[in-house]
Structure 1
Amino acid sequence: MKLTTFEIKFDNPQGVFDAGSCVSGQVVLCLAKPMKMRSLKLHFFGEGKSHWVQKRGKKKVNYRGQETYIHSFMTLFTSENQGSSSEHPAGNHAYPFSLQLLDILPSSFEGSRGHVRYYCKATIDRPWKFDSHVKRAFSLIHHLDLNKVPTAPIPIDARTSEDVEGCCTSAGTFYVELSLNKTGYVPGEPIVYDIRIDNQTDYRITDILLELVQTATYKGISDSFMSSGNPKLHPKTISFDLFRVMDSNIKQRTTETIRRANVIPSVPPSFLEGCDIIDIQYNVKLKVNCNGTKAKITKSIIVGTMPLREPTFQTPLAPSAPATDSPTAPITLQPQSINVQFNPEPVPPSYEEASAPPPSYSECVYGRTAIRDANDDDHTTGDVTWAPTYPYYDWSTMPNRGRHPEVSAAGPPQYGYDDDD
């Protein structure tokens, strides 16, 4: 076998690049013997796609959207005689490459109804033989700096109440409050929350669920002959359990306070800036059940890629004294005042600042997906399954701001589907 090694190596071993930077690396080629070839080329490609199917009676209608972000070719080796082949010498060879990226490109994303995907594909053009290909995807990060989002440091405080009906008469009212220490977070950062429930009913509170909900909204146009050509929006949700108790036993005429913290998992940034066919939003949703009556609170939060400079390990409200029969053991956090200062021209934060740990990279919590497409054949090697990687901040590495014993990871993702799926 002449071709012993054919691979793409990025200068960043994890294959993560910022919008506006350069994708750089080497195509490594090892030949046991000389090989005839016309050329060795490298194709850079970036695209956004959306696709879903909707039933209309007995028919199914496809909705699609597509955007092209990168479509570039680079010749690394070519025959001396144009149009013919020449022998590439045996041995170990490394062909360097570099491509300047636009700063408006959206972050990588893999979803249930679409994606934003970037990859490069090297091809050996061989005369009278099948071409050889190797493919490698890379993650692109369009940074969302929370220091440039005015609402990011602002705490969230919401409350609601529900009346509970008893047998032929009212059974009372229960009150629910949700407080978050701020609005903007980055993956790896704890979201600190208070849940306060005042149960002034004749029944006990049973179920309590706090979720982090991602809503990805896809845009596409129908391929139906009768289509108006107007795009349609298609939302899909994924939720992560932050706190769940299915038998809380908050008794009648009692008040309970639950104070916890959960780490934001590795997820793409809010908004997916630069992409016009996919939008991403995040909410924290609280559901409390009393005898079949449910109280719900939904508040929007923002997930960025660059953390706030201000210290964020403070409780949203002054701690409430927990009842002796609290369903969870409360954590002890020292409340701090929040000093919100708005800079009209904020400067991107330095990763070396003491207010935040240096970022690492973490694979998306959704897991890997197949990325082979119609242009890949049996002679294509390299990435078959892949997941994008995002900046991840581990606050446990920070002096005096280590992970609190009650801080835990969010639960595994639960995928929500529409009725027509």
Structure 2
Amino acid sequence: MSLSSIKTFTLVLDGPADAAFTVGEVASGQVILEVSRDTRVQSMKVQGRGVATAHWLENRGMNSVYNDYTSKITYFRKRLNLIRDNGELTVLPAGRHEFPFSFQLPEETLVTSFEGKHGSIRYWVKVKLHRPWCPVRKIKKEFTVIEPIDINTPSLLAPQAGTKDKLARTWYRNFGQVSVTAKIDRKGYTPGEVIPVFAEFDNATSRSIVPKAFIIQTQTFIARGTMKQKRSVVATLCGDMVSARTRETWHGRAIKIPPVGPSIQQCRIIKVEYMLKVCVDVPGTSKLCLELPLVIGTIPLHPFGSRTSSISSHYSVNLEWLRMAIPEQPEPPPEYSSVVTEEEAEQRNDGVAPPPAEDLSGIMERPLMAFLQEFRFRPPPVYSEIDPNPQPPHMRPRCMTC
């Protein structure tokens, strides 16, 4: 049989082209095979798979010897026989043939589809057509899986806050101390949301400083006990210059989350994490940076019934970020190397793990804006000539001079 006997061999998934699946859902579609004449087929199988893979090469020494780091996790694998191989050939008459199929995704947690520099998480459907004395025909189609991350949970609705200070100095001269205090309403957000940043910058130095805020994405790949990371800046917020020996306050300055992928936390070999980094650039010395963790979810915040809505209403008065216009085409974010401190850069180059961050979860639990509560005194009792508690008639009156 010549190859020209097959006119069409395609795989079509039901639903829109950009449809995304989640755990427990059913993925269905059709295999369309159109032949120009009677065709003998041995078997046709469809397979659904979901695999996470991490892979990179590292050069060790001067001999150009590369170490291969590879790890793989299979999340699901299912097979269906559209034409079963029972030892006899199946003859398909000329014309168009449609073979429907469907399989259910596992009920366990499936991580979100991902494509990175050193790894990927992919889900696909592959069909193989076996014919006698002919090469195997294959078609493959990928589909997207989204892991549901609900930000309406107590851990993701908790405010995130921290404070950090540093003594700005050069070789032999101290310029003074710089301190940064920052807070955000919650930990979980979804793409497209605006994060109001409440911060205070105390510049006790003799130089002007420039406060900035960044949203940083960190991709972590793990294989053979070795970790590879890639960091990138996805959003930027630049504040006004703070003069020497002055203080600047951000009353909810806005930084918008771009259309990025959600956080990946349940995969053992690939992780995608986010953080809000509030930095102060002091001329002549290294940066002072404060990091607040973020989780990018897929289920947005409920408008009512959460503590964050009450917090937002508390700050609804005199908020600058509500009136700020965010441009449709913002400036491209800077490189990650421009927002890290010198100590972090040296630790990364030397392969030293950064020290654990201090537990500052209890700091700034109160709002940054002070307010006065009105108290009213209880009014005095009504005056009356009649004693409400008279003495009993049998009691002898007491002499006040005795």
Query: Relative to 1, partners in 2 of residues 1:127 and 1:211: Cα closer, same or farther, differing over 3 Å?
Result: same
Q: Would the aligned equivalents of 2:263 and 2:274 in 1 still touch at CA under 8 Å?
A: no
1:73 aligns with 2:76: no
Tell me the alpha carbon deviations over residues 14-72 of structure 1, each in whole angstroms, 9 at most, x when there is no partner: 24211121111222223343333212221212212112223332333222211122222
| Other-structure match for 1:211 | 214
Task: Indicate the RMSD between aligned Cα atoms, in angstroms.
Answer: 3.3
1:300 aligns with 2:293: yes
**Which residue, out of 19, 24, 48, partners 1:20?**
24
Return the alpha-carbon distance in structure 1 between the equivalents of residues 314 and 57 of structure 2.
Answer: 46
Q: More strand by proportion, 1 or 2?
A: 1
Query: Relative to 1, partners in 2 of residues 1:166 and 1:296: Cα closer, same or farther, differing over 3 Å?
Result: same
Q: Mapping of 1:372-387 within 5 angstroms?
A: none
Matched residue of 1:146: which SS? coil
Q: Would the aligned equivalents of 1:109 and 1:268 in 2 still touch at CA under 8 Å?
A: no
| Other-structure match for 1:290 | 282
| Other-structure match for 2:127 | 122
Tell me the alpha carbon deviations over residues 377-414 of structure 1, each in whole angstroms, 9 at most, x when there is no partner: xxxxxxxxxxxxxxxxxxxxxxxxxxx73376885695
**Which residue, out of 84, 87, 90, partners 1:83?**
87
The Cα of 1:201 is off from its aligned counterpart by: 2.2
Return the alpha-carbon distance in structure 1 between the equivalents of residues 157 and 268 of structure 2.
Answer: 27
Query: Relative to 1, partners in 2 of residues 1:152 and 1:194: Cα closer, same or farther, differing over 3 Å?
Result: same
Q: Would the aligned equivalents of 1:257 and 1:321 in 2 still touch at CA under 8 Å?
A: no
| Other-structure match for 2:363 | none
Which structure has the larger Rg?
A: 2
1:269 aligns with 2:263: yes
1:138 aligns with 2:136: no
Return the alpha-carbon distance in structure 2 between the equivalents of residues 133 and 299 of structure 1.
Answer: 48
Query: Relative to 1, partners in 2 of residues 1:99 and 1:199: Cα closer, same or farther, differing over 3 Å?
Result: same
Return the alpha-carbon distance in structure 2 between the equivalents of residues 412 and 28 of structure 1.
Answer: 46
**Which residue, out of 51, 64, 68, partners 1:62?**
68
Matched residue of 2:186: which SS? coil
Identical-residue share of aligned pairs (%): 28
Q: Mapping of 1:101-180 within 5 angstroms?
A: 101-104=105-108, 105-147=110-152, 149-165=153-169, 169-180=173-184
Return the alpha-carbon distance in structure 1 between the equivalents of residues 204 and 314 of structure 2.
Answer: 22
Q: Would the aligned equivalents of 2:236 and 2:333 in 1 still touch at CA under 8 Å?
A: no
Tell me the alpha carbon deviations over residues 69-118 of structure 1, each in whole angstroms, 9 at most, x when there is no partner: 22222111347xx3343332232332211111112232222222212211
Q: Would the aligned equivalents of 2:50 and 2:76 in 1 still touch at CA under 8 Å?
A: yes
Structure with larger RCO (C-alpha < 8 A, sep 6+):
1
Q: Would the aligned equivalents of 1:205 and 1:250 in 2 still touch at CA under 8 Å?
A: yes
Specify the code of the residue in structure 2 equivalent to 1:179.
K
Q: Mapping of 1:222-301 within 5 angstroms?
A: 231-244=225-238, 248-258=240-250, 259-271=253-265, 273=266, 275-291=267-283, 292-301=285-294
Instruction: Give TM-score, length-normalised by structure 2.
Output: 0.71
**Which residue, out of 2, 5, 8, partners 1:2?**
5
Return the alpha-carbon distance in structure 1 between the equivalents of residues 241 and 91 of structure 2.
Answer: 78
Specify the code of the residue in structure 2 equivalent to 1:52.
W
Tell me the alpha carbon deviations over residues 291-350 of structure 1, each in whole angstroms, 9 at most, x when there is no partner: 22421101111122222324557659859989xxxxxxx4346xxxxxxxxxxxxxxxxx
Q: Would the aligned equivalents of 2:179 and 2:201 in 1 still touch at CA under 8 Å?
A: yes
1:405 aligns with 2:325: yes
Query: Relative to 1, partners in 2 of residues 1:25 and 1:131: Cα closer, same or farther, differing over 3 Å?
Result: same
| Other-structure match for 1:370 | none
Q: More helix by proportion, 1 or 2?
A: 2
- Which ranges in structure 1 are unaligned for 5 or more consecutive residues? 222-230, 323-329, 334-403
Tell me the alpha carbon deviations over residues 159-189 of structure 1, each in whole angstroms, 9 at most, x when there is no partner: 2222223795533333323222211112232
| Other-structure match for 2:359 | none
Specify the code of the residue in structure 2 equivalent to 1:76.
L
Return the alpha-carbon distance in structure 1 between the equivalents of residues 93 and 77 of structure 2.
Answer: 30
Query: Relative to 1, partners in 2 of residues 1:122 and 1:166: Cα closer, same or farther, differing over 3 Å?
Result: closer
The Cα of 1:146 is off from its aligned counterpart by: 2.1
Q: Would the aligned equivalents of 2:167 and 2:178 in 1 still touch at CA under 8 Å?
A: yes
**Which residue, out of 184, 190, 194, partners 1:190?**
194
| Other-structure match for 1:11 | 14
- Which ranges in structure 2 are unaligned for 5 or more consecutive residues? 338-344, 352-402
Tell me the alpha carbon deviations over residues 206-238 of structure 1, each in whole angstroms, 9 at most, x when there is no partner: 4x44222222322212xxxxxxxxx23333323
Specify the code of the residue in structure 1 equivalent to 2:145.
L
